[in-house]
Amino acid sequence: MVSQFRQETHEFVPLKEEYEGKKAELGKTEAEIQEMIQKRRLKIEEIKHSVDLSKEAADREKAEGVQVFTALMESVERSLNELIETIEEKQRTTEKQAEDFIKELEQEISELKKRSSEVEKLSHSEDHLHLLLNFPSLKAAPPTKDWTEVSVCPSYVWTVMRAVTQLEEKLSEQINKLLDAEMKKVQQYAVDVTLDPDTAHPDLILSDDGKQVQRKIVTDSTERCSHCPSVLGKQSLSSGRSYFEVLVNTETNWDLGVVRESINRKRQITLSPKNGYWTICLTDRKYKANDDPSVCLSVGGFLMRVGVFVDYEQGLVSFYDLYPAALIYSFTGCSFTEKLYPFFSLGPSDDGNDDNHLTICHSY
């Protein structure tokens, strides 16, 4: 039997060369690990800093809250004291009126008793002429007051209701002052937002200054939103606080707010925070917040000018009605991990008018 042997060749690398190669790889690996460690240390410092900022904000808000509620409680206490004083004054007036009525009634009773005594005495008289002469004057009842409709039963319900209404007006005044102060706070973070033509839907056209969007026809772009007539702002919001205002059309269906950079711009998608949209809208003359689930909004009349405020670190997106100053809705507890962009979308006009638009107001 003949055995066949296959000769295999092996490539040999000098030990020192292999050592140096592996050492270099380990050095690279070590550098990568150190870089990862450094990034995580920086993240720890970032989180700690965020906690410090949050604590400062919480302390500040608590102090302001204590101040506001102290003023409100003092206002309520003053209103309560005024109400009690009003009721007590009214009760004193009622008691005085009752005393006067009682005195008058007792006076009439006294006079009636006197007349009763005279009538009884005359009725027992045997003097015929005397009875006939005095009969006309004694037959008629003495002049007295008609007490049928007289009462002393005051109602304090309207007094309380009036006091509550006045208190409500005072509280409303305080709330308006707070909202005005809040608006001044958020407006200091105003950013100059312009529309990005590269993201505009083909049915939209932008003004030359990039501040107004209307439903028209424009050319296509690879970055363009094609699933709905929408457009993004050029400026990204990726840290700190930002604020911008938009004039909205009361006859137009629209969506307004902010979106994350990675939204799908090419297909129909539900506008909601889980899909990267933090928006409110006007649809069929009804206002809604596109939350999970959507929330119907109660606003006074029609929105004309809407303020949008973003606090990136706090995960907050708030919408304000500027006429009068009022908070419309807030998305809270959001977790932002990428850039946000202002978002504007136009639907069909309720009155069939093609001249519907959204206009970004100039910064403060």
CA distance 119 to 343: 98
Q: Are residues 230 and 113 in the same domain?
A: no
Predicted pLDDT at 3: 46
Residue 112, in any domain of the structure: yes
Dihedral of alpha carbons 278, 282, 284, 288, sign:
positive
pLDDT in tens, 115-138: 788 777 777 777 777 777 777 666
Contact 224, 233 (CB under 8 A): no
Residues of the chain short of pLDDT 70, as ranges, are 1-13, 136-141, 216-228, 349-355, 363-364
Token pair in block for residue 268 = 């129909």
Mode of pairing for the β-strands spanning 241-247 and 357-360: antiparallel
pLDDT the model gives residue 301: 80
DSSP 197: G
* Shared-domain flag, residues 79 and 203: no
145 in a structural domain: no
Could you list the residue range(s) of the whole structural domain that residue 104 is in?
A: 15-138+155-187
Does a structural domain hold residue 353? Answer: yes
Distance (Å, rounded) from C-alpha 154 to C-alpha 152?
Answer: 6
Residue whose structure tokens are 């977790």? 335
Claim to verify: residue 219 and residue 261 sit in the same structural domain: yes
DSSP state letter for 52: H
Alpha-carbon distance 210 to 231, whole Å? 11
Domain identity same for 95 and 214: no
Q: Please report, for the domain that includes residue 301, its CATH number.
A: 2.60.120.920
Phi, psi of 356 (to 5 degrees): -100, 150
Note whether 180 and 207 are same-domain residues.
Answer: no
The residue whose two tokens read 């026809």 is: 217
Distance CA 227, CA 229 (A): 7
Tell me if 143 is assigned to some domain: no
At 358, give phi and psi (nearest 5°): -125, 140
Residue 339 sits in the same domain as residue 211: yes
Q: Is residue 53 part of a domain?
A: yes
User: Contact 119/138 with Cβ under 8 angstroms?
Assistant: yes
Question: What Å distances lie between residue 332 and 273, 306, 310, 315, 317, CA to CA?
Answer: 11, 18, 10, 6, 7
DSSP collapsed to 3 states, 246-313 = EECCCCEEEEEEEEECCCCCCCCCCCCHHHCEEEEEEECCEEEECCCCCEECCCCCCCCEEEEEEECC
Contact 320, 186 (CB under 8 A): yes
- Are both 175 and 212 inside the same structural domain? no
Residue 192 lies in a domain: no
Question: Could you tell me if 77 and 125 lie in one domain?
Answer: yes
250 within some domain = yes
Identify which of 178, 168, 155 has the alpha carbon closest to the alpha carbon of residue 79. 168
- Judgement on whether residues 274 and 355 belong to the same structural domain of the protein: yes
pLDDT at 68: 82
What are the pLDDT digits (tens) for 13-60?
677 777 788 888 888 999 999 999 999 999 899 889 888 888 888 898
Number of separate domains in the chain: 2
Give yes or no: residues 104 and 182 share one domain: yes
- What amino acid occupies position 279? T
Cβ-in-10-Å burial (0-12, 13-18, 19+) of 320 comes to buried
> Are 204 and 334 part of one and the same domain?
yes
Omega prior to 14 cis, within 30 of 0: no
The alpha helices in 141-286, defined as continuous H runs, are: 157-187
Q: Are residues 23 and 171 in the same domain?
A: yes
Q: Is residue 94 part of a domain?
A: yes
CA atoms within 13 A on the CB side of 178: 15
